[in-house]
Amino acid sequence: MVLGDCMSLVNGGYVGDHVAISCALGNIDYDSGKQVEGIICEPDVFKIEVDDEVDFLILASGGVRDPLIRLLMPNADFGVPNSMWHYTVVCGDDVEIRAAPTYSDEAQKGLTAQPSNCVAVDEPGQVSEEAKEAARQLGEEGCSLQSGRAVASAPAAMWWLLSQFTTCPCLSRGKEAPSLPEEGSGGGADFGWAVAKNERRRMEDAVDVKEDVAGFRVFTVYDGHAGDEAVTVVKKILPRILETHLEEEDDVEKAICLAFRRIDEELTKTLLAAADTPMKVKTSSGTVACMALLKGKDLWVCNLGDCRAVLCTGGTKAHAVSKDHAPDKNAAEAGRLRTLGVEVNGGYVGDHVAVSRAFGNVEYESGQKVAGIICEPDVFKIEVDDEVDFLILASDGIWDPLKDQFAVTHARKALRTTEQPEDAAKAVVENAAKVSAGDNAAAIVVVFKFPEPLPKRITRPRATLAGLDGPPP
């Protein structure tokens, strides 16, 4: 059974001035006590015989259906420029996904067509980059490039269509789709991570875990500022650049510092190349990072900015490995800036940057970093012995609300309760939000030695009412 907005397309206007569908539950006029005139609650009912030709069924709300219709009919008047739609579906015996916005009568058939295969088409006689990309996304199995088109099975085609319209701008109600995950958690046997946008308007924190970067396991927490452009770029290029320098240098600390310098150079070029003219802002976005590299029993922790690395040692003790690079938190950094003649106002460098070391923060006019801000990390080497329990890497969205010891206590309690590092990272993020949810938060917990699990409670059988009359045991 299908009701209203879940399947029916309403062409033109509203029912009763404000209802965009004609078949629904509710919509009661309070004056009359009856449904808005014209709206009924009678569903359409369809019977389908499931034979060998039927693959799967999708039940979807208007939030999924509307973007698909826009893809099917990009020239229809939805109040959105045609340039926003990169593909058109034209249905006949087959389905064509065209790389350029077009409109045809056959497009409307896409609402009810049941294609047997899918074709990605550009200009006749040539295979465009768009068609090649469509073929790649559709998958290798059963997919081939022909003259001007890429062919794949109907299920694969459906998943490709879903990947196209789930990122459609109309899903975000006029807002830009976030480039970083806003909520989530995950992990493995010995590490867990969690992120939360909290009450901030946009997400600028991120985590990344790579199992093999030149033989090292690499765990990184990012905290962007003034936008997510810098953190998105750095997260993408850091593993590649770090791997190159680790392979070329025997000195791990030197390799990290060289890698960070190269990352900042590439980021600067990317930010300047993407800058709008005339500039709406004078300075680019930036990001700080806290990273751990693990190889055997050797652990390197490097910090750039005001993320922080905290170790749990001796079972319960919190020990901050890194110091925040912020002039109002770090006397050495404040002294360095004074020596350079850089003025700090209310804890801010260059009027609006709250850290003294970071990637990015490029002045568009000069093409140089904001005076005083450098990309040189502090690097620490730690031998993981029997006293080292776990490591927490986290953004200031954790450390501003929580003391180091409280974060360690919450993580340890979760590890004792469930023995899941993911739960430990979630506990840190969730408990920080209970104190203050005003900032994005991101945390990674890397476990070297699991704490003793909590003792199991001894349960005794409850006495029944009948048993109360009998002799005591």
Residue 157 has pLDDT above 70, yes or no: no
Name the CA dihedral angle for 224, 228, 232, 234, rounded to a multiple of 10 degrees: -40
According to CATH, the topology of domain 183-447 is Phosphatase 2c; domain 1 (3.60.40)
Average pLDDT over residues 300-313: 98
Report the percentage of the chain scoring pLDDT > 90: 54
Tens-digit pLDDT profile for residues 331-388: 999 999 999 999 999 899 987 899 999 999 999 999 999 999 999 999 999 999 999 9
pLDDT range class, residue 436, cuts 50, 70, 90: very high
Q: How many CA atoms lie within 13 A of 98 on its CB side?
A: 18
Residue 3 has pLDDT above 60, yes or no: no
- The pLDDT of residue 336 is 96
> In 111-189, which ranges are E strands?
117-121, 144-146, 149-153, 183-187
Distance CA 462, CA 6 (A): 51
- The pLDDT of residue 51 is 82
pLDDT range class, residue 279, cuts 50, 70, 90: low
pLDDT range class, residue 275, cuts 50, 70, 90: confident
Average pLDDT over residues 426-441: 97
Q: How many CA atoms lie within 13 A of 446 on its CB side?
A: 25
- The pLDDT of residue 349 is 94
pLDDT range class, residue 176, cuts 50, 70, 90: low
Residues of the chain with CATH 3.60.40.10: 183-447
- The pLDDT of residue 170 is 38
The residues, ordered by sequence, that sit 6+ positions from 360 with a Cβ below 8 Å of its Cβ are 230, 234, 264, 267, 268, 271, 284, 285, 286, 287, 369
Residue 117 has pLDDT above 90, yes or no: no
Higher pLDDT, 347 or 5: 347
Q: Which two tokens stand for residue 446?
A: 């890397």
Least confident of 95-99, 176-180, 353-357: 95-99
Average pLDDT over residues 81-86: 32
Pick the most confident of 163-177, 221-235, 339-353: 221-235
Average pLDDT over residues 158-179: 48
Cis peptide before 101 (omega within 30 of 0): no
Average pLDDT over residues 173-182: 65
- The pLDDT of residue 131 is 46
Average pLDDT over residues 226-250: 96
- The pLDDT of residue 71 is 45
Average pLDDT over residues 98-103: 35
Q: What is the mean pLDDT of the chain?
A: 77
- The pLDDT of residue 125 is 37
Distance CA 422, CA 409 (A): 15
Higher pLDDT, 210 or 81: 210
Average pLDDT over residues 390-397: 98
Report the percentage of the chain scoring pLDDT > 70: 66
Q: At what angle do helices 229-248 and 252-273 cross, to 10 degrees?
A: 140
> What pTM value is reported for the model?
0.64
Higher pLDDT, 35 or 424: 424
